[in-house]
Copies of this chain bind each other. A is one copy, B any other.
């Protein structure tokens, strides 16, 4: 499976690290908006020993068509800004390249564009692409079905500057059909981020807890998404869609 990455910020580098270390994938290139680091080797830049091509290009050097023809890929992983889709979307769909995109604040117009592209190639969009959070949501839904009479509370902890409940906590509450008043927030120091879903039974509790070790936790999710999207039929997918089959034990 040949992979190309758009974006080389924290998330993009995290994804590149994971793909380079994974034997089943080949990192063909990383495309950045700026010409900075142009033609540098990604493995070398990240200090990873690898024989995969993995060169850094800028958007200005090639059109997407030129890039895809010159150095084809099977899957695109997009951790860039939302305008990047205009650069590659049409050309990727034409070539049946699967698209994994994790833009967190994706405007409606871009989601509409992703849905149109999804008529021609498999597309995954998720605002939070970590395996952990998405697993937490699905496992919590299972447990709520098993024991609908339990009390469910959500506890999230983040660094002190963060205002309001985390988007992820609100998303979990909505997904489980519980009031957002049941989201309890801890704000202290430099805590990166934890989310816990607690189920209270009369004589036992079950806690499903996710802790982020660093803000670079997206690589694992991107690899999972790419591997599970590749080979799927065209269509619009979420992380939930890709995780669901694993719940059929």
Contacts and interface: CB of A to CB of B under 8 A. Distances in A.
**Which of the four size classes fits the interface of chain A?**
35 or more
Interface stretch (A1-9, A69-77, A108-116, A212-220): A212-220
B199 A203 contact: no
Contact of A145 (B18, B151, B219, B246): B246
Given A188-B150, A220-B147, A142 B249 contact: yes
Contacts of A59: none
Contacts of A203: 14, 189-190, 212-214, 216-217, 219-220
A39 B187 CA distance: 38
A186 interface: yes
A208 B208 contact: yes
Interface string A190-211: 1110000011111111111111
Interface string A8-44: 0000001000100000000000000000000000000
How many copies make up the complex? 4
Given A150-B188, A198-B188, A248-B247, A206 B135 contact: yes
Given A138-B249, A145-B246, A243-B146, A205 B191 contact: yes
A163 B210 CA distance: 25
A199 B105 CA distance: 29
A244 to B, nearest CB: 6
A246 B9 CA distance: 40
Given A151-B189, A190-B202, A190-B203, 6 more contacts: A142-B246, A151-B188, A152-B188, A153-B188, A189-B201, A204-B212
